[in-house]
Each structure stands twice: as structure tokens, then as C-alpha cells.
Structure 1
């Protein structure tokens, strides 16, 4: 089999894995599911999956710490394996509520070039009396000042080199004010995100403060789970393209 035929078959495998991810809502696709979908000999499929691993387009889920068996397809970029958001009410006043937002991002460098540190951005009605806390290879607290455009961006861990094939995880926390009856919070990951999870707590000291949460997003975003309970709202989304905005509307 010539090189071009192998490349065509490999791209077919990658497309098949991506299609199965979309249909199943799982990031990890097992060998038998791929074989059933494209009906090729087991050894041929094994060889193509190995080829995909060699070039970085196919990765075993266990090697990424995704907690499942099987394979996933990755672009040759820096990707977010898991992007987690927790929104908690920490104070309620007559005019507004204050929420603490905790964001944790697990990056995988699937490119051939090294990655340096993390870029984080914050926008909204920031509580400037509370610091932004960053936990990566370094621990840092950043004290903010009022900004006219309510927009802040920071490059952190900039002296840390994350080489090709390495995983880098960081977390940060910040506080925003929200005004009734409706206000919103925006998340916009810089990288392609394989799995996005967000949980919003609706109560403070046993009293319901946020009546409901509504998401606003582009049509090509794939939600695999969304629950609105009495005390929380949670959502899971797979394979978000870079810079795709998700808006959380809070009904206060």
C-alpha cells in the first residue's frame, strides 16, 4: 500500500473517531466501535491507529488521563483536555450578589513547539477588593484596579516550558458582581476544548438566590448533559472550538 493510500485511510479513521465522539457524547472510542463503523481488518485498523499515534492525531485516552479506555482524535495544537468551571455565591447585598468563579484547565501540548505558561482573561464587574488567585507551577495573588472596559488579561507561568507531549494544569479564582433581575457570565476558552464542565450553585446559606440558569451559545456546540436541580445547575459539553463563547444567564 502506498503512502497516499495510508494517509487517506488514516484520515478516514480520524473522521470516524470524531463522528463517533459526536454521536456517542463520549471522548473515548473503543477499538470494536471503530472497526464496526468502517469494516476493515483488525490488523489494518491496529496499524492505522499506531500510525495515528506516531503523528499525534490519535491518542489513547489512558495516556491523557481521561479515565476511560479507547482512543480520541486530537488536532496538532495545544488542546484543553478538561476545562472545569465552578460558580459559587459568596455574598448577597440589597443591590447585587457576589460570586466566586473557579476555573481549572488541563492543557495537553500536541504541537511540535513548546508552550509557555497560561493566558487568563477576566471580564465583568470585578470585585477589586478581592485578589485573583492563580495556582499553576507558581502560586500568585493579583490585586486588581478598576478598569473602564472591565477587561483584564494576564500571562502567568511564563518562564515555564511545557514541551510537546506534556500535560500542564492550572487553576485560578476571581470574584464578580451580578445585578438583578438578569445578569451574565461569559466563558471563552483560548484552546480547542475536549471536555467542558460547569457547575453553578444557586443557593447561599440554604436560601435560593439564583432562580435559574440559561445558556447562550452557538449552534455547533454539543451539550451532552445539562441538569437544573434545586440547588445547582450543571452542564457538560464536548469538543468546543477555540474562542467559542458560552454565556451563562443568571435569573436573580
Structure 2
């Protein structure tokens, strides 16, 4: 998009303050208008209106002889009127087959709203399963040809004092989690010195694995991008205290 230049004739040349707001025209005839802002800068940068991104993983748990499963997902913000709809088809005849999918959608809200999804599955014997619309606010959906399984929400907290990452020379810590059991799920979270608050990740709970157990691996990264191995293990705790790896240990 090309830049636009305006010239204004001022009754008082010393007065350079102006007020502005931006109106965005989005798909579906939706208009989104920013709040009024005050500026003295002769250059005005128009940023996109989206303030966050919602990412949803679709994890199939389907029989091999299934004809197809259709997932309809709707994200809607009542505060802004913003709405996005997605449809994903799991079938041996599609290019992606029965593989996992990841949907990403920009959001106008800084904290994304919950989304709604429903599953329609056509079995080999001709029977059809139709789920009720389900409201969710986490990052994983189990796609099944019957009532879906449960999810586990795991809270990750950094151990140690504030600023410990910088003290040991780390710029990031990555925590990888993998559920144990049939068709394991995977998710990860990243801590940085400026984003060291608690993280929440969601894993699909295999129906055959009781109690729910997952494997975790902690890896730190220094200023040069070198990996620093941290703790790893298996646990059933839904709150995991993450020890900061030390390059000196």
C-alpha cells in the first residue's frame, strides 16, 4: 500500500498537535475503529488492527476405516463483531489425510475469546456421528467419531528469583511436553526475561492412560544461540516448576 501525504494550512504554525483515529474495513462488511490518539509526529504509521493470534491444534483420534470427519470451527468476538469460520476435512482421500492440523487466526482482542467447534464423522458402516457445538478456550481439539476425550491444562512456572535467566546468560528457555500413551500429543512453551510469567499449555489426555502422565524436556538458549540442556523427566503434576538451566553447571 502506497503512503499518503497531506498538507495542512495552520492558523498557528507553532501548534503541531493533532488527533487521529483509524477505521479498518474487514471481511464480512465489518468496520473496526480505533480509539482517538494524539500525536505531534509528522509521520503516522498505520499498523494492522490485530492484537493477538489464536492457534488451535486439531488432533485426530479416528478409526482407519473412517470415510471422513468434518470439523467446523467458529471464532467470534461479541465486543467487536469480528468473526472467522474454518472447516477442515479429515479423510484418506484428501491431501492431508488423517494428519494433525493447526489453525491460526488473528484476533482483535488482546485476550482471544473462546471458540466453538463441532464434528461430523461418517463411519464405514454408513452411520453418522454429529457432535453438539462445543465451546472451548484452550489450544487443542480432539477430533473423534464419538464423544471426545479430555484435555489436561498444565501450568508452567519458572523457579528461582526474578532476573535469574539474565544472571546465568540465557535469552530463552523452551519447555517441550509430550503426553504418554497411544497417539501422544505434543506442545511447548517459551520463557524469556521479559515474558517470564506463568504459561499454560494444553495436552490431549489419552483415554487408555491413567493416571495422565507426560514427559517434559527443558532447554535454555544463550546469547549465541547455543542450547543448554536442562531438566527432563516424566510426571503427572498439573503444575510444573521449571528450573532455569545453568551454562556453568
Normalization by structure 1: what TM-score?
0.28
Higher share of residues assigned helix: 1
Normalization by structure 2: what TM-score?
0.28
Higher relative contact order (CA 8 A, sep 6+): 1
Please tell me whether Structure 1 or Structure 2 has the larger radius of gyration of its CA atoms: 2
